[in-house]
Structure 1
């Protein structure tokens, strides 16, 4: 599954890569080179991050589903209990 990002997010990511390489690697990247590097990251490393995010969500959802019975449980046969309470 290819990871797609919106045009505004892509442009912001490209600008961020250009700034990072200029400030930390003393290397100036042009718009095209930064776009190519971003494409590489999305294709090569993006699926790893995506798969981990999916696994994290599955784990959290499973935990929530396992707690549903505690949140919505109702005891049966409660009608007579209201009459069996000690009267004052």
Structure 2
């Protein structure tokens, strides 16, 4: 899922968080196991939210496109008028 450099950077971020915020030192393996836990349990939640946000953005653009197309419509001739 993550490249080795990404995984190392994320694990280091987790280690730093534990040290600074929780005043608890953890090793690299512990940080990677915690990363795996977060990825497996919370990853799908964030992924699905991202999909919903992308869908909402796309639907908004589709509405804009529909409006732009309607503005291109020509008026229909009125019978009896020239």
Q: TM-score, normalised by structure 1?
A: 0.75
Q: For residue 4 of structure 2, what is the aligned residue in structure 1?
A: 7
1:17 to 10, 14, 19: 14
Q: Which has the larger radius of gyration?
A: 1
Structure 2 runs not aligned, ≥5 long: 76-82
Q: Which 4+ residue blocks in structure 1 deviate beyond 6 angstroms?
A: none
SS of 2:24 mapped into structure 1: coil
Q: For residue 76 of structure 1, what is the aligned residue in structure 2?
A: 74
Inter-partner Cα distance in structure 2 for 1:29 and 1:59: 40
Q: TM-score, normalised by structure 2?
A: 0.80
Note the aligned Cα RMSD (angstroms): 1.4
Structure with more contact order per residue of length (Cα contacts < 8 Å, sep ≥ 6): 1
